[in-house]
Structure 1
Amino acid sequence: METNYRIAYDKYWQDIKEKQAEEITKNRAVSYNSQCHQFEVSFFNSEYVLDCPAEKIYRKSDGHSLDIMGSIIMLNYLAYARPLQRSIHKWISLKEIPNGGALFYPAFHKNSIIPLVKAFGVQSQELYRVAATMGGRQADLGDAAVIFQVFPEISMCVVVWEGDEEVRGNATILYEPGVDELLHIESVIGLGSYISEKLVRRSVSSL
């Protein structure tokens, strides 16, 4: 595990342990087993167990361990638990998210948006097939779009526009307003990168 990931991983575990379980379950759509000291969390429509004593995260159905980036996002989701002020539903880009979204967007565009364009900009319908393996459902945006239910309170949308000889393809990753109340801005960015990487990797692996 890379050093920066390990630091974030350990910090969020500690933050969770310092909170009262009731505070987390009150402010997040998760359950808690007080006998085992375990949380159960829905992540991309799969149920995961967060074992606090062992500091491990695994899929409930088969015991599969969650990868490090997904683990950090999930830990931050619990560690960041606090009362929310819900906003009306609409989609916004990273640039519109307060506290750093616009600042980090150029790097996010390079690392997460451009790979989506390369993977799906000339075959937008392929996005539907690949996204279905992650529980994505079709949306009526662009040439192809999918919505992911990341956590019960967090949805995200990936949109692709096909290019041709005259117009370059394009893509975007959209969030719901208030996502910065559910995750730290670094995890907000990390979540977008996580989705992009999973989609691109699964597209490439199918070729």
Structure 2
Amino acid sequence: MARKDDYENAFKLAARELGAGAPAVIGGLSGAEYDEANQRLVLEFIGRRVFIAWPDIAVGYLDSEEAVPITEQVLILHYLSRAKGAPLSGQAITYREVPSGEFYYPAFVKRAEAPMLSVFGNSPELLTRTAPEIGGRPVEDLGDAAAVFQALPQVPVTLVVWGGDDEFEPSGKILFDRSISHYLDVEDVAWLSGMIVYRLMRLAPKYTGGN
């Protein structure tokens, strides 16, 4: 497991690279809003509005003094640095189809798909009930339950669950637009998926009577 120092070093490296760029240009490539008066970009990240200030890169929530977790700050900076302005393709792919996804797939299952099924596999309806709380939108006619999340301006992520029965174990998939590699590398795709899943898992007890 990476240490806090590793994330802080990753943030410094990403901030140095990003700070050398022009925020207006980066905003155009990433879909973030450019707030010229305050020299910052503003974007929505898993249902919350965040800002990225220039030139000394800082990341924060627009609606709160709460600190953005360092792992999420790093991912947001990676997204902005990598953004190529590629349009969404409208074609859904699995993690295995992301470049190098086959190699990282076991780690992806452990980080995102398995936790998703541990909570929603036997209660698919919980997925569509919790999703709107973090900006997700239920999707009909896909699995037993599905929801799409605009995790970043150009990164939709769709969670799909099929409930188990007497014959079959629960199953699920996390789907991405084929353009995702223009915005995040394969490891960041896995981290982002886990961030969405764990937010939903924390919300589930609210709908099941748990604490």
Q: What's the % identity of the aligned pairs?
A: 25
- Measured on the aligned residues, the alpha-carbon RMSD in Å equals 2.0
8 A Cα contact 1:23 1:82, kept in partner: no
Q: How many Å separate the matches in 1 of 2:132 and 2:191?
A: 21
Q: TM-score of the superposition, structure 1-length normalised?
A: 0.89
* Structure 1 gap segments, 5+ residues each: none
Q: Does 1:23 align with 2:31?
A: no
How far does residue 104 in structure 1 lie from its aligned partner after superposition?
A: 0.3
| Match in the other structure for 2:134 | 134
* Structure 2 gap segments, 5+ residues each: none
| Match in the other structure for 2:109 | 109
* 1:97 to 1:164, Cα distance in 2 relative to 1, 3 A: same
* 1:87 to 1:41, Cα distance in 2 relative to 1, 3 A: closer
| Match in the other structure for 1:2 | 4
| Match in the other structure for 1:119 | 119
Q: How many Å separate the matches in 1 of 2:68 and 2:206?
A: 20
| Match in the other structure for 2:40 | 38
* 1:182 to 1:203, Cα distance in 2 relative to 1, 3 A: same
Q: How many Å separate the matches in 1 of 2:109 and 2:206?
A: 23
| Match in the other structure for 1:56 | 58
Q: TM-score of the superposition, structure 2-length normalised?
A: 0.88
| Match in the other structure for 1:191 | 192
8 A Cα contact 2:19 2:54, kept in partner: yes
How far does residue 205 in structure 1 lie from its aligned partner after superposition?
A: 6.3
What is the one-letter code of the residue matched to 1:125?
E
8 A Cα contact 2:46 2:196, kept in partner: no
Q: Moved runs in structure 1, 4+ residues, more than 4 A?
A: none
Q: How many Å separate the matches in 1 of 2:52 and 2:160?
A: 31
For structure 1, which segment, 48-57 or 146-155, has the greater mean C-alpha deviation from structure 2 after superposition? Answer: 48-57
Question: Counterpart of 2:31 in 1: which secondary structure?
Answer: coil
| Match in the other structure for 1:90 | 91
How far does residue 15 in structure 1 lie from its aligned partner after superposition?
A: 1.2
How far does residue 4 in structure 1 lie from its aligned partner after superposition?
A: 2.1
What is the one-letter code of the residue matched to 2:133?
T
Q: How many Å separate the matches in 1 of 2:153 and 2:88?
A: 15
| Match in the other structure for 1:175 | 176
Q: How many Å separate the matches in 2 of 1:70 and 1:181?
A: 19
The total of aligned residue pairs comes to 205
What is the one-letter code of the residue matched to 1:117?
L
8 A Cα contact 2:15 2:77, kept in partner: yes
